[in-house]
Structure 1
Amino acid sequence: MLPLRQVPGTYGLPFFGAISDRHDFFYRQGRDEFFSSRIRTYNSTVFRTNMPPGPFVSSNPRVVALLDAVSFPILFDNDKVEKRNVLDGTFMPSTSFTGGYRVCAFLDTTEPSHALLKRFYLHLLSSRHNSFVPLFLTSLSDLFSGIDDEFSRNGKSSFNTFSDQMSFNFVFRLLCGPNSTPSETNLGSDGPKIVMRWLAIQLAPLGTLGLPKILNYLEDFLLRTLPFPSWIVKSDYKKLYDAFSTAAASTLNEAERFGIKREEALHNIIFMAGFNAYGGMKSQFPILMKWVGSAGAGLHKQLADEIRAVVESEGRITLGALDKMTLTKSVVYEVLRIEPTVPYQYAKAREDLVVHSHDAAFEIKKGEMIFGYQPFATKDPRVFVNPEEFVGHRFVGEGEKLLKYVYWSNGRETEDSTQDNKQCPAKNLVVLMCRLLLVEFFLRYDTCTVEIGNSSSNLGASVTLTSLTRATGN
C-alpha cells in the first residue's frame, strides 16, 4: 500500500503566480526544465502548478501535473475524468473558429454527439481502408520527386516543404475522394498555408514567436493578454469551408445517413482534416525523419536490409509485408515514444480521485484540472532503460511488452480507439503511414544526413536533408 500524500506544490499569489509560472515555462527555464526543476523541488512527479496561458486568456490555469508513466494513464479513464472543452488545455478557442460548433475533439464522452461523431469518423476511416496504401504511396512518390529535384539543384532539400504539401493533399484526397485535388479548388496550392494561419491564430496563446530575449515581455503581452478574434482568419476559413463543402459532398452525404446535420458534419470534417490530420502529419513526419536521419548509417543499413528483403520476398508492399518488418515497426514506435506529437493532455476530475505514482498516492478533488506532460511519462526512467536515448530496436521481441507505456494517441498503444473514448480515431493509420514513409525512403536511398532546426510553426522540427545516398539501381 503506497503512502497517501497531499499533492505538493503551490500556485503562488493570485494572478501573479500564474504569470510567474508562465514566464518560467516560456522564457526563464523552458519547457523541460520547468517540469524537471519542480520534480526536484517537491521530490515528486505529481505536483501543483499553473499552466499557460493563464490570465487573461484562461479562467483558471491551476493544474495537478502528472509526470510519470504510472500516474499519467488516469487521463485516459473516462469514467474518472472529463474531457469537455480541454483539448487545448486551460483555455478554449472561440467556437467562431469552427462555424459556431463545438467539434468532436472538444466534446466529453458523456455527450451524445461525441459517440455519434466518433462513430462516423471510425466508419469513414474503415470505409477507406483499401485505399490507404495505394493513395499514400502515390503521395510519397510526389514527396520524394520534389525532394530529388530540389536536392539536384541545391545539394540539399527541405523535407518539411514537400512533406507539408504532400500531407495536405493526402488528407484532402482521403476525405474527399482519390480523384479530388485541392489545387483544382479555390485553395489552389495554398491549402497548407491557409490551414496553418487558421490554427496559429487559435493556438497563439500556447506558442512563442522566437523574438529576442529583450522582447519577451512584449511578446507575452501580445500573445496572452486576450485571445485573437476569429475574424482575422475568416476569409481563410471560408476558403476551407467552400472547398470541403463541394469536394467532400459524398462524405457529407454519409454523415447525413448517420444522423449528423450536414453543416455540423462539414465543420467537424474541416477540423479533423486541418487540426487532427494535417496538423498531426505536419509535425509527425519531420519528427520521424529527425530521429531516423540522426540515428546514423548503422541503423539505416539495418532498416534498408530488412525492408528490401521483405519487399523482394513478398513481391510488393502490402499490409502483410509491413507486419514482417519488425525493426521498422519498432523504430516508428520509438519515435512516437521519445517525441510524441501532442505533448500535453488535460482532463478534469469527475469525482474525488486517488492517483498513484511510483512512490505515493495523491488525492485529487472533483473538478480539479489534471495535466499530463507526455514526454516525461514516455521517458520514465523506471520503465525505460536509457529513456533519453533513441533505441531503434527497443520494441522488438520482448520489447513489445513496453508498448503499453506508449501514449502518443491519447491512449495506450495496446488499446483501440472506440466511440466511447478520446483516443485518436486514426491511431493505426498514423503508425501505418510512418512505416510506409520509412519503407519508401529506404527502397530509394541507402542513407542520409539531416540538419535539424526549430519549426517556425512551433510544430515538430525543421528537417533539411544535407546528403542522400541513392540505393543501387535508383
Structure 2
Amino acid sequence: MSSSSPESQQLLPLREIPGGYGLPFFGPIKDRRDFYYNEGPDKFFKTRVEKYKSTVFRTNMIPGPFMAQNPKVVAVLDAISFPILFDTSKVEKKNVLDGTYMPSTDFSGGYRVCAFLDTTEPSHAALKGFFSSQLAHLHNKFIPIFRSSVSELFTTLEDQLSKDGKSNLNKLGDKVSFDFIFRLFCDNKSPEETVVGSKGTSTFDRWLFLMLCPLMSLGLKFVPSFVEDFFLHTFPLPFLLVKSDYQKMYDAFWKHGSKILDEAEKFGLKRDEACHNLVFLAGFSTYGGMKVLFPALIKWVAAAGEDLHRRLAGEIRTAVKEEGGVTFAAINKMSLTNSVVYETMRIEPPVPYQYAKAREDIQINSHESSFLIKKGEMIFGYQPFATKDPKIFENAEEFVADRFLGEGEKLLKYVYWSNGRETENPTVNDKQCPGKDLVVLLAKLILVEFFLKYDTFTVEASTIMLGPLVIVKSVTKAS
C-alpha cells in the first residue's frame, strides 16, 4: 500500500470514506437526476462535501445505468487528494478518459486511441512519443499559422457588430481553432481547399456531441428533463449519423497530413492507426479544448474590466514593440498575460472531470484526514473544486488576474488543467496532455491579438453544454 503525493506524507487520522451508492439501479439514477437537473454539478458536489464534512466521499457518477461500466466512484475534491489521478504508478488510465462511460471505437476508426490507453500498454509510449516529437518539430509554425488563422476573426467580428450590434465569439473562435489545427497538421493547407470544405467545425461538433452526449445536459427549458434524460443518458447515439463526414475528415488528414504520417511509420506505427489518432488529437483534444477555453478566457477578461484591459494592452504592445513583432521572445515577456491565462485555467478548467482506477490499495490524504482506496476502485476528480480549494488559493472563487505573478508562481503546481501539474512536463510514462504548452501559447496569442487591436471590449456570457457562450457587445479600437 502506498500514499498519494509528496504533500500527503504527514500522518493524518485514517477515516473511512463517507458516502454511498444507494440502491442498485435506482441509486445511480437518483444521483444522475441530481447532477443534471435537481442541483447541477457544483451544487451536487458542494452539498455532499457539507453533508459528509469531507472532500473525499463515495458517490455514483454519470451517466449511470445502461452505459456506465460501473457508476460507483470515490470523489476527490481538494488540491491535496486530487493529484493521485496523475500518479500512473498507482492508478490505471485504461479506457477512463470519459470516466464510467466509454464511447464506441467506431468514432476513432475502430482503434482505442492514445487518450484511452494506459501507460503500461506498449502502443501508448509510441503514440505519445510520436505526437510529442511532431509538436516539437512544428514549434516554429505555431505563431505564424495561428496569426494567419485569426486574421479574419476581427474583420468578421466588427462587421457583425456594425450590422447586428453583437457578435457570437464562440462561432468565430471555433472557425479559428479548426483552421489553425488543420493547417498545422496538414502542411498549412486551408481546409476550404480540401474535401472538408467549410464543414470542418460542424463535422467536429457533431462528432463530439455524438460521442459525449451521455455526459451532457442540453439545458433546453422547453424540453422536459425526463425526456432529455431518456434520450441522452439511456443509450449511446450511433456513429452512423456522422460516418460520412468523419470519413471526409479522415481522408483529408490522410492526404494532406502525409508528412506527419510518414514520420509515424518511422515510430513503428501503422499508418491507418496513426491517422485516426491524428484526427482524434486534432478534433477532440485540441479543437474540443479550445472550443471551451477561448470563450472562457475572453469571458473572464471582459468581466475583469477596463483597468485589466489597460494593463494587458500596455504589456502586450510594449513587448511586441521591443521584440519587433509577435514572437516567442515577446510572449515570454508578458508576465501578466501569462498569469491571466493560468487564472482562467484555474477558475474554469476546460476539462472539469478526471478519472483513474487504483492499481493497488492506496492511502490518500485530504487536508484533514487520510483514506484508504481499494485496488480496482474508480477515482473521480472534479477539477473546479480542486483548483478553487480555499485552503490553497486566497479568494478562490474570484478571478484574480495577477494571482500567478511573483511569489504567486509557486501556486502553479496546483493548476491541474492538463491532467498534471502545470509545473511538470508531459512524458510518455504519464497521461499529461502532450500539447500542454501549445494550448497555453494559443490562449496567450488570442489575448495578444485582441489587445493589439482593441483597448477594451464588453461581452454578455451565458452557459451552454460545453462551457460559456460569449456574445461580444462592443469593442474600442486601439488608440
TM-score (norm 1): 0.97
Alignment of 1:226-245 (within 5 A): 226-245=235-254
Aligned with residue 163 of structure 1, among 170, 173, 182? 173
Amino acid corresponding to residue 309 of structure 1 in structure 2: T
Aligned with residue 101 of structure 1, among 89, 95, 111? 111
What SS is found at the alignment partner of 1:447? strand
Measured after TM superposition, the shift of residue 212 of structure 1 is 2.9
Per-residue CA deviations over 1:142-186 (Å, capped at 9, x if unaligned) read: 2222212222222221111111111101000001111x1111112
Aligned with residue 413 of structure 1, among 400, 403, 422? 422
Measured after TM superposition, the shift of residue 213 of structure 1 is 7.2
What SS is found at the alignment partner of 2:224? helix
Per-residue CA deviations over 1:186-210 (Å, capped at 9, x if unaligned) read: 2111100011111111111111122
2: CA distance, partners of 1:212 / 1:330: 37
Alignment of 1:146-157 (within 5 A): 146-157=156-167
- Counterpart of 2:257 in structure 1 is 248
Measured after TM superposition, the shift of residue 92 of structure 1 is 0.4
Alignment of 1:316-331 (within 5 A): 316-331=325-340
2: CA distance, partners of 1:33 / 1:361: 24
Does residue 299 in structure 1 map to residue 308 in structure 2? yes
1: CA distance, partners of 2:164 / 2:477: 16
Per-residue CA deviations over 1:113-144 (Å, capped at 9, x if unaligned) read: 00000000001100001111111111221222
Does residue 402 in structure 1 map to residue 421 in structure 2? no
- Counterpart of 2:373 in structure 1 is 364
Does residue 201 in structure 1 map to residue 215 in structure 2? no
- Counterpart of 1:262 in structure 2 is 271
Alignment of 1:164-203 (within 5 A): 164-178=174-188, 180-203=189-212
- Counterpart of 1:68 in structure 2 is 78
1: CA distance, partners of 2:238 / 2:478: 51
- Counterpart of 2:283 in structure 1 is 274
What SS is found at the alignment partner of 2:372? strand
Measured after TM superposition, the shift of residue 439 of structure 1 is 1.1
- Counterpart of 1:123 in structure 2 is 133
Does residue 384 in structure 1 map to residue 393 in structure 2? yes
Per-residue CA deviations over 1:36-55 (Å, capped at 9, x if unaligned) read: 00000000000000000010
- Counterpart of 2:433 in structure 1 is 424
1: CA distance, partners of 2:220 / 2:331: 44
Does residue 87 in structure 1 map to residue 94 in structure 2? no
1: CA distance, partners of 2:22 / 2:272: 45
Measured after TM superposition, the shift of residue 316 of structure 1 is 1.4
Does residue 314 in structure 1 map to residue 323 in structure 2? yes
Alignment of 1:134-145 (within 5 A): 134-145=144-155
Does residue 335 in structure 1 map to residue 344 in structure 2? yes
- Counterpart of 2:353 in structure 1 is 344
What SS is found at the alignment partner of 1:4? coil
Measured after TM superposition, the shift of residue 422 of structure 1 is 0.4
1: CA distance, partners of 2:427 / 2:222: 45
- Counterpart of 2:474 in structure 1 is 467
Measured after TM superposition, the shift of residue 214 of structure 1 is 6.7
1: CA distance, partners of 2:112 / 2:69: 19
2: CA distance, partners of 1:59 / 1:427: 29
- Counterpart of 1:78 in structure 2 is 88
Aligned with residue 50 of structure 1, among 54, 60, 64? 60
1: CA distance, partners of 2:109 / 2:302: 41
Amino acid corresponding to residue 466 of structure 2 in structure 1: L
Per-residue CA deviations over 1:253-305 (Å, capped at 9, x if unaligned) read: 11111110001001101111110011111111111101111111011011111
Using the TM superposition, name which of 18-27 and 94-103 deviates more.
94-103
Per-residue CA deviations over 1:220-276 (Å, capped at 9, x if unaligned) read: 111111112222221121121121111111111111111100010011011111100
1: CA distance, partners of 2:447 / 2:58: 41
What SS is found at the alignment partner of 1:5? coil
Q: State the aligned residue count.
A: 469
Unaligned 5+ residue runs, structure 1? none
2: CA distance, partners of 1:387 / 1:428: 24
1: CA distance, partners of 2:449 / 2:247: 36
2: CA distance, partners of 1:388 / 1:105: 31
1: CA distance, partners of 2:449 / 2:235: 45
2: CA distance, partners of 1:389 / 1:210: 25
Measured after TM superposition, the shift of residue 323 of structure 1 is 1.2
Unaligned 5+ residue runs, structure 2? 1-10
2: CA distance, partners of 1:156 / 1:221: 36
Alignment of 1:27-38 (within 5 A): 27-38=37-48
2: CA distance, partners of 1:23 / 1:213: 17
- Counterpart of 2:17 in structure 1 is 7
What SS is found at the alignment partner of 2:371? strand
Using the TM superposition, name which of 146-155 and 262-271 deviates more.
146-155
Per-residue CA deviations over 1:352-375 (Å, capped at 9, x if unaligned) read: 000100000000000000000000
2: CA distance, partners of 1:59 / 1:171: 33
1: CA distance, partners of 2:158 / 2:256: 31
Q: CA RMSD in A?
A: 1.0
TM-score (norm 2): 0.96
What SS is found at the alignment partner of 2:429? coil
Per-residue CA deviations over 1:62-92 (Å, capped at 9, x if unaligned) read: 0000000000000000000000000001010
Amino acid corresponding to residue 454 of structure 2 in structure 1: Y
